[in-house]
Every structure is written in C-alpha cells, then in structure tokens.
Amino acid sequence: MTEPAALREVLVACIGNPDCGDDGIGSLVAQELERQLPSHAPLIVRRGDMLALAEDFAGFNAVVCVDAAAPMDTPGRIHRIDLTSEELPRELSATSTHGFGLAEAIELVRALNRAPRTIVIYAVEGACFDVGAVMTQAVAASAEETARLVAGEAERLIASLDRTSGPASA
C-alpha cells in the first residue's frame, strides 16, 4: 500500500552543538524523540552547519525545529513560536557558533521560496554556551517535556495535513 504523501511532509529538526553546553539541548531532545516521534516524521540533527537546513527544509509542508535560545532569565523555559503568525523574536534568537543560525537559515529558505508552509520552533532558554561546558541542569531537565511537546506538535501537523490533502493513495 502506498503511504499517504501527507505522512511524509512533517520534518523535525533538532539543532545545536552538543560540545557547547546548553547548545546541546537540540541533540538531547532528539534522543528523546527517537522513542516518541511518529515513525513517518523524519528526524534530523544538525550540529553546526545551519546552511544545510535550507536543503533539509525543501519539499516539506511543515517543519518543527528544536534549538537553544539565548539566555534570558529562566534556563530551561520552553518557548513555542509559530512562524506562520509570529516573527522569531530577536531576544530569543537561537545562538549559533557559526555564521548562519536558525533565523538566518529560515530567512534563506524563504528568500529561495523553499520555506515550508508551517514552521514551529521550540526554543529552550539556555544559560551557558561555552565550549566543553556541561549542560545546565534546568536545561537538561527540560528535554523530556520538550520532546513530548514536539512529538505532539508533529502529530497535530500530520493530522492537519491529512485533513487538508486527503489520502494521496486514493
């Protein structure tokens, strides 16, 4: 039986360098998601090369991203940002150790007309992004809850896309 096309149209992208303290939250959430994510929602982990996201996003209707957010006042706090209706707030802009961060990657895919219709970001506030630093306890503790939220988001998006497009194998 052909798998409905809509079931392949949600990508989950976990972002961040696990060697840089709280920047590793994306990788940690990805480990949790391997057990929780619907099998037909592809999961990718990007540790540094954000430019690759522009290629990764191509061909998907929806993307759910997990990344670390710049320090504010509550390490481990989870922010959900739906870029369909909101901009990525500058003060939350996920940190990056390279020339291109998540915000720039999203801007780039939009400029190239490759942007998915829906992009939802789960940004986890970090505290320390030093090379070799241990992840802040509160940030690490948020991984399980973040994964639960992301898995739920992916399931909702898949269901919503199914309703919109109907079964492709019909």
Partner 1 sequence: MASKTIKVDYLARVEGEGALDLEFTDGRVTSARLKIFEPPRFFEAFLRGRSYTELPDIVARICGICPIAYQMGSVHAAEQAFGVSVDGQLRALRRLIYCGEWISSHTLHVAMLHAPDFLGFPDAIQMARDHGDLVRNALTLKKAGNELMRVLGGREIHPVSVKAGGFHRVPTRAELAPMTETLKRARDIAVELVRWTAGLPFPNFEQDYEFVALRHRDEYPLNEGRLVSNRGINIEIADYDSEFEERHVEHSTALHSVVKQRGAYQVGPLARYALNSDRLPQHIQGLAAEAGLGPVCRNPFKSIIVRAVETAYACEEALRIIGEYEPPAAAAVAFTPREGTGFGCTEAPRGICWHRYEFEADGTIRRARIVPPTSQNQPCIESDLAAVAGGMVDRPDDEIRHRCEQAIRNYDPCISCSTHFLKLSIRRS
List of residues contacting partner 1 (CB under 8 A): 17, 19, 47-49, 51-52, 54-55, 96-101, 104, 107-108, 111-114, 131
Rounded to a whole number of angstroms, the minimum distance from the CB of residue 73 to partner 1 is: 23
Tell the smallest beta-carbon distance from residue 74 to partner 1 (Å): 24
Half-sphere exposure for 70 (CA within 13 Å, toward CB): 13
Among 34, 67, 38, 40, residue whose Cα is nearest residue 53: 67
Q: Yes or no: say if 17 and 69 are a contact pair by the CB < 8 Å rule.
A: no
Q: Which is nearer to partner 1, 42 or 77 (CB)?
A: 42
**135: burial class by Cβ within 10 Å (0-12, 13-18, 19+)?**
buried
State in angstroms the smallest separation of the CB of 97 from partner 1. Answer: 5
45 versus 140: smaller Cβ distance to partner 1: 45
Please say which residue, 77 or 114, places its beta carbon nearer to partner 1.
Answer: 114
